Amino acid sequence: MNVPRDPIYLDHNATTPLLPEVVDAMVPYLREHFGNPSSAHVYGRRAREAVDRARAQVAALIGAAAEELFFVAHGTEANTLAIRGVVAALPEKRHVVTCVTEHPATTEPCRELERHGGQVTWLPVDGEGRVRVSEAVAALRSDTALVTLMHANNETGVLQPIAEIAREARARGVRVHTDAAQSVGKLPLSVEGLGVDLLTVVGHKFGAPKGVGALYVRKGTPVRPVLLGAGHERGLRPGTENVASIVGLGVACEVAHRSVGEEEARVRGLRDELWERLRARVPGLALNGHPRERLPNTLNVRFPGVSGSALLAAAPEVAASTGSACHAGEESASSIITAMGVEPSAALGSVRLSLGRTTTREDVVAAADALAAAWKRWVQGVRTGGS
């Protein structure tokens, strides 16, 4: 009996499979090492040692001190803690600078600030999806508490000029936060190189489990807790630590620390081959985002004459995502793509193809063939009056 093959997974920006090393490291903390890290006895001490070891591993990956890392449940919590926590700690400063192409984990806390009397400057992006440094600097005010900009966009992979903006903002006494959920583990980076005060890490984007992340907080940065409870995570994030997942995050960071440069080059080569193969077979195919300043694993392209969701439905051999959102059966163009000046009708043809550690050249060749063939069938069907 033929067992159907799973589709080629090109949705690593959504989530990644657990690394084998991560699974192996987690298992003992799901079985015998079950202690509460706040307990004083041997079971608690073993758990506390594991959490401390993981904290050091995460810190090493981003060039931080271990005491500057705070474990959270996910990127949404980290971003909320960064934005609301800094604003709450600086009551005289109620202005935040962000961007129109941010993830909802950033836009929603910013909108909540607006609803409660604060002010937010929403920076536009250029045709390649990048914020203009001059506009970001011009938006800074005496009452600006925080600049919060994602390092890499989750749909297009476009990298923002964080270091340049941070240098100007911090020279004016403004704190800077970056959501690095998509870039940590995929690119070599450091908090000093970026020049930020706060940085979000999300485990499941690079081989750790879902439900665990971290927030880097530079020493001396004013932040108040968002959740109220006991004194876990040195009083900034109450709640008993998710020890097994934290262990997994630490190991994923250790693996990335050893191999991120080599893996970046490998995946970039595969991504570029995917682009060239598709471009050769799909006339009018267009790239969404900057040709160079983007994640090495991300290819967001617009297929002409077809919606992204229809194309993926016609190519079941590939598991990927679109650059659009479907609500109540109606498909709408992605606001990330249209913010770059792309017409909504063209933006509907966007597909995000994101590669990862498990992606092989065979996957790239097969995916390009499947997508190009599906596009050709669709266009021919439309021309002949079919579907």
Instruction: Give catalytic residues, as residue numbers.
Output: 326
* Residues whose CB falls within 8 Å of the CB of residue 167, separated by 6 or more in sequence, listed in order: 195
Q: Which residue has the tokens 């800077």?
A: 176
Q: CB-based contacts of 58: which residues, under 8 Å, 6+ apart?
A: 64, 69, 201, 214, 249, 250, 253
Specify the residue for token string 């966009």.
153
Helix (H, G, I), strand (E, B) or coil at 13: coil
Looking at this protein, which amino acid is placed at residue 135?
E
Cβ partners under 8 Å of residue 386, min gap 6? none
DSSP letter string, 183-235: TBTTB---HHHHT-SEEEEEGGGTTSPTT-EEEEE-TT-----SS-SS-TGGG
338 touches 324 (CB < 8 A): no
- Looking up tokens 């250790």 gives 254
The Cα–Cα gap between 234 and 68 comes to 10
Distance CA 82, CA 180 (A): 13
Q: How many other CB atoms are there within 10 angstroms of residue 380's CB atom?
A: 10
Q: How far apart are CA 60 and CA 257, in angstroms?
A: 8
Half-sphere exposure of 62 (CA within 13 A, CB side): 35
Rounded to whole angstroms, the Cα distance separating 366 from 6 reads 13
Exposure of 48 in the CB half-sphere (CA atoms within 13 A):
12
